[in-house]
Amino acid sequence: MMRDETIIIGGGPAGAAAAIHLARRGMPVRLLERQAGPHHKVCGEFISYEAAHHLKNLGLDLPALGAQPIRRARFYNGEQDLHFALPFTAWSLSRRTLDSALLDQAKVAGASVELGTAVRKLSRAGNGWELTTQKKLAPVTQRAVRSAKTIFLANGKHELRDWQRPLQKETEENARFTGNLFIGFKMHLFPGNLHDWQEAVEIHLFDGGYAGLEPIENGVVNLCFLIRQEIYKTCGGSWPEVLRWLADTSSHLRLRLAGLTPLWHEPLAVAGIPYGFIASPADAVPDLFRLGDQAAVIPSFAGDGIAIALHTATLAAQIHGINGDSSAYHRRAHEDLAQPLRAARLLANLLAHPQGRNIAFTVARLLPALMREKILSELIMRTRVSLPDELVAGA
């Protein structure tokens, strides 16, 4: 193996996009992904306008993959509802399809992609890095030691031993949507009437969390929701009880859930998400670039985590491609991400609060439709990470 190969740990949107960018620059790159093949992930599966532009630039044809256009949003606060036209066209596609299409594209671009290979240990070795990997090849587990000059850490929400994200204290204290208090669930369902779901995302807000529903490919609807851990405990940790609890939050959600048939016996679940985390440039380690959720975790309510993953991948590849160091990358990433993260946290905190929700809904309903949509689009744009210049030209 070439000594100056860049190794990317993790094959989600951040890792796969970085592999494509580096390979396109003619740089030797190897991506290690612990999952052996396409898999589902807890996610609202909402692809923002910005994410869609990155994906197009990476060679993905969203409509050809079956992605559904999303042009409208329906918000519910208990029995109140508000309907908006989105200020852009967004898309929705299952993460299983999206992530594997990106990995395929990385191979096409010339990156070496190794699936089913988990990195167990990462340590400094001289001027570079040494990695211990583990691959399950039934009936044996193969261990190997590799070396690289540069590491892109794109392992998402999972922490790598000795290289955990340095979480700031304020993340835990200030964010009402603190991941440690919440569990995220995802379930795919068949709708009784697909027509109800065309081009619309639905957000149901309630005390203790929120639920998002939207159509994805193949006539399926994705349900993704966050609830406080104590609600899960009150439901005895039982999925049918959690669904019953969810249906009781409003007559709208009850009606919705009654018209949907789950495709899986059990949902996917995730806990301990450090919403509000942003990697500080002061913590930058030479030759180690943190991408995606390893760089920043935006409240999922904002629906822009994938765009952040793709944005940081673009930046890291650009900076590494001109021999820039990881501190230059982390400074730039922090500059780009701090404001959208702040805005998303403010919005999430406001809407997590019953009074905040009631005031927001009452004011929005009093406003003339045009002004309401203008304010909403302004709010949404504040939670967005701007497109890099070369993509703005093509947007």
Ligand X SMILES: Cc1cc2nc3c(=O)[nH]c(=O)nc-3n(C[C@H](O)[C@H](O)[C@H](O)COP(=O)(O)OP(=O)(O)OC[C@H]3O[C@@H](n4cnc5c(N)ncnc54)[C@H](O)[C@@H]3O)c2cc1C
Site residues (vs ligand X, CB under 6 A):
9-15, 32-35, 41-46, 48, 51, 118-119, 154-158, 160, 184, 224, 226, 270, 273, 292-293, 300, 303-307, 309
| Rounded least distance, CB 365 to ligand X, Å | 26
Beta strands at 29-33 and 112-115: parallel, antiparallel or unpaired: parallel
DSSP letter string, 173-236: HH-TT-GGGEEEEEEEEEES-GGGGTTEEEEEEETTEEEEEEE-GGG-EEEEEEEEHHHHHHTT
Q: Tell me the C-alpha distance between 339 and 348, whole Å.
A: 14
The three-state DSSP-derived secondary structure of 31-46 is: EEECCCCCCCCCCCCE
Q: Tell me the C-alpha distance between 223 and 43, whole Å.
A: 9
CA distances from 205 to 246, 346, 365 (A): 11, 15, 16
Closer residue to ligand X (CB): 41 or 372: 41
| Rounded least distance, CB 33 to ligand X, Å | 5
For residues 17 and 113, is the Cβ–Cβ distance under 8 A?
no
| Rounded least distance, CB 113 to ligand X, Å | 11
Q: Tell me the C-alpha distance between 216 and 365, whole Å.
A: 29
Closer residue to ligand X (CB): 10 or 355: 10
Which residue has 């943190």 as its token pair? 290
Q: Tell me the C-alpha distance between 24 and 110, whole Å.
A: 8
Which amino acid type is present at position 220?
A: V
| Rounded least distance, CB 370 to ligand X, Å | 27
For 49, phi and psi rounded to 5 degrees? -55, -45
Q: Tell me the C-alpha distance between 168 and 239, whole Å.
A: 33
Closer residue to ligand X (CB): 182 or 361: 182
Q: Is the dihedral of CA 214, 296, 290, 117 positive or negative?
A: negative
| Rounded least distance, CB 328 to ligand X, Å | 20
Closer residue to ligand X (CB): 13 or 388: 13
| Rounded least distance, CB 308 to ligand X, Å | 6
Closer residue to ligand X (CB): 46 or 289: 46
Closer residue to ligand X (CB): 16 or 364: 16
| Rounded least distance, CB 368 to ligand X, Å | 30
| Rounded least distance, CB 391 to ligand X, Å | 16
Closer residue to ligand X (CB): 93 or 260: 93
Q: Is cis: bond before 139, omega within 30 of 0?
A: yes
Closer residue to ligand X (CB): 12 or 340: 12
| Rounded least distance, CB 85 to ligand X, Å | 19
